[in-house]
Structure 1
């Protein structure tokens, strides 16, 4: 399913979807039985005067692996003008992680055809920041996988996802985003080997009956997660890996955290820094660059609540608690950016649909309700009414989060 070409009136709006709101076998082994990240949301505390924590989801602490919950989320997205989800997809040397939200939830929803979806391979190091201790976190899995594991992932996603009628395609080519390019290159053994692996990927996609692969590389200059791998020259690596587009995950990847006050900073200043870097990227890259708009940023729930909240490495970064009105201004900036640079297929990404523990969620909370989603409809269109209260009453099962909250000290 491809976006309309040359649609200057409305870009395709794609929200990143973080799938850690269901039970996962690995999490149960690493943490406590039946652990999911709702525990950190519920356990969050205000860390300074005026700090908006805990964030309370208006729709409850639901199990996203339920098809009924997926149907509710799809209905919200399609009603308020979110055209699709870019799913944070995890695959390590021994296979997938956090896949049930997609496999058992979104792909089993009766209304799944109302939104597109695509994969964003979240190939960063998986560290124990759930929550982060007051020391260097332990590594749970290595994001730099080798060629054998990469090929296993490719075969799986072509078979299981690319063939889905609502998988996002550009000119018929399935979209695939790569989060941490430097880590991918390291795992493949070098830039030439990485290029060879991606060319093999493209040939597998063509053999499956598609005209090709749309490879989107996320580019950013400032690593946030511990052990993040950045690259020195975005243009060179985008060219070397024959990418079809470039995009961004979150505003803080485009600004130096040391330049902002702690514990809370200006959302306007962060927005200006991000869009200034977007202009640099648009001028230097030979492929379209798609802008990101970030709802907000507050990773304090991922800090052990018994530890001090002092400025340092992720997740001890400044808080940007952006209002819905400020978020709408970011959407307008993205719209202007696309009109100025005029890519053939205009796209805006949003961080995020549900990054609750990083303070960036379009889903309604008890403070702002539907205001962030309404901002999308206000700026880009798609006016269709929806009764969220009835959705909450009828389609979301009661929370079953009864196991103890885990805190690392």
Structure 2
């Protein structure tokens, strides 16, 4: 029997080829393409991240998702929050979600997060070298929520008091977000629900009262650099002009100083100790973070992550949730199940095996407290 607090792991579906990525990045591109080519930036840097038994899976096969659900469930994960991509009626990476919807025998709760960023070549949602962008309209908002009803009606979909839980990655990017949320709730009620339970993810803009945008709650998004305690190695080892002069001479500065290197322990402690807002707020953890494989320079790297520290952070979020949220809202989020290109995954790898999964199991399944987690 599990505790009441329910951990939801964020799930990235970009592990299958699609025509758009073939055109933008090269034939056969998936998330694994970047993961495989990553190299260490300094001595002792853990790269590349290699999945256990070199399982570079393909989400075209629904059996992969079935195995993932079984693995997550057996280790105390309550459900998945799938990223969902909608661009004014254009869907991307939708096949895994549709396969999941059809595979009713996968007995595992889920919800969706609208990843409403522009897609660019910089992997940061900024409007430089844009590949496909968001074009917002209230008419499109209605079509969008009507499309999502097929997921909401699934018995496995996570609901709060008959209100499907829907997250939004960047609510501040929508110019008419309050009107949009009104439309979404209206359509949900028409479909027989009591509304929606809307959560804005606070990964870029924090501190906005969710109610002002029509949302029910906010969710912190780990890692938050503001609570990381500063860089371990300053990138201003020498002046910009000096480093530029070295570059012009063909001398490359120490790669450690070209990246933002932070300490995972400071991150966990910093995010645990921060002051939270008065509105309904969900906590979030991450097992690790390192987006080296997505960036040739200026990567953000958190070193010194261990299953033990992750377990400590998980325990904090569980206890905080028990103390601050009513039973029906006792959820916490983990970033992520499989963000391999960001070095941020619960899935087992060749270095730590299943130790991060066991940390989740030990925290959220009371009968597993005797599990040994590597220190």
**1:156-208 residue CA offsets vs partner (Å, 9 max, x unmatched):** 111x2111110111111100001112112x3x3xxxxx212211110100100
User: Match for 2:71 among 76, 96, 108?
Assistant: 76
Q: Once the 2 structures are TM-superposed, how far is the Cα of residue 242 of structure 1 from its aligned partner? A: 3.1
Q: Once the 2 structures are TM-superposed, how far is the Cα of residue 347 of structure 1 from its aligned partner? A: 0.7
Equivalent in the alignment of 2:266: 269
Kept in 1: contact 2:5–2:322 (CA 8 A)? no
CA distance in 2, matches of 1:299, 1:331: 22
CA distance in 2, matches of 1:65, 1:382: 35
Q: Verify: 1:357 aligned to 2:341, yes or no.
A: yes
Equivalent in the alignment of 2:121: 128
Kept in 1: contact 2:5–2:331 (CA 8 A)? yes
**1:3-32 residue CA offsets vs partner (Å, 9 max, x unmatched):** x9xx9x431110000111111121112121
Write out the 4+ residue segments of structure 1 that deviate beyond 3 Å after TM superposition: 108-111, 253-257
* C-alpha spacing 1:65/1:107, structure 2 compared with 1 (3 Å): farther
Which structure 2 residues correspond to residues 316-395 of structure 1 after superposition, within 5 A?
316-344=299-327, 345-381=329-365
Q: Verify: 1:298 aligned to 2:272, yes or no.
A: no
Equivalent in the alignment of 2:155: 165
* C-alpha spacing 1:260/1:319, structure 2 compared with 1 (3 Å): same
- Equivalent pairs, count: 339
Which structure 2 residues correspond to residues 1-400 of structure 1 after superposition, within 5 A?
9-59=3-53, 60-104=55-99, 106-109=100-103, 111-113=105-107, 115-129=108-122, 138-143=129-134, 145-158=136-149, 160-184=150-174, 186=175, 188=176, 194-220=177-203, 223=204, 230=205, 233-235=207-209, 238-252=210-224, 254-255=226-227, 259-262=230-233, 263=256, 264-277=261-274, 279-281=275-277, 284-285=278-279, 288-304=280-296, 309=297, 312=298, 316-344=299-327, 345-381=329-365
* C-alpha spacing 1:20/1:367, structure 2 compared with 1 (3 Å): same
CA distance in 2, matches of 1:357, 1:75: 23
Kept in 1: contact 2:79–2:109 (CA 8 A)? yes
**1:314-356 residue CA offsets vs partner (Å, 9 max, x unmatched):** xx22334511111101101101211331333211100100000
Q: Once the 2 structures are TM-superposed, how far is the Cα of residue 65 of structure 1 from its aligned partner? A: 2.6
**1:25-52 residue CA offsets vs partner (Å, 9 max, x unmatched):** 2111212122111011111111111011
CA distance in 1, matches of 2:214, 2:141: 18
CA distance in 2, matches of 1:152, 1:383: 45
Secondary structure at the aligned position of 2:157 is classed as coil
Q: Once the 2 structures are TM-superposed, how far is the Cα of residue 240 of structure 1 from its aligned partner? A: 1.4
| Unmatched segments (≥5 aa) in structure 1 | 189-193, 224-229, 385-409
CA distance in 1, matches of 2:63, 2:70: 11
* TM-score, structure 2 as length reference: 0.84
CA distance in 2, matches of 1:253, 1:178: 20
Secondary structure at the aligned position of 1:339 is classed as helix
Kept in 2: contact 1:119–1:176 (CA 8 A)? yes
Q: Once the 2 structures are TM-superposed, how far is the Cα of residue 255 of structure 1 from its aligned partner? A: 3.3
Higher relative contact order (CA 8 A, sep 6+): 1
CA distance in 2, matches of 1:205, 1:50: 51
After the TM superposition, which of the residue ranges 374-383 and 202-211 deviates more from structure 2? 374-383
| Unmatched segments (≥5 aa) in structure 2 | 234-255, 369-375
Q: What is the alpha-carbon root mean square deviation over aligned residues?
A: 2.4
Q: Once the 2 structures are TM-superposed, how far is the Cα of residue 357 of structure 1 from its aligned partner? A: 0.7
* TM-score, structure 1 as length reference: 0.77
Kept in 2: contact 1:297–1:321 (CA 8 A)? no
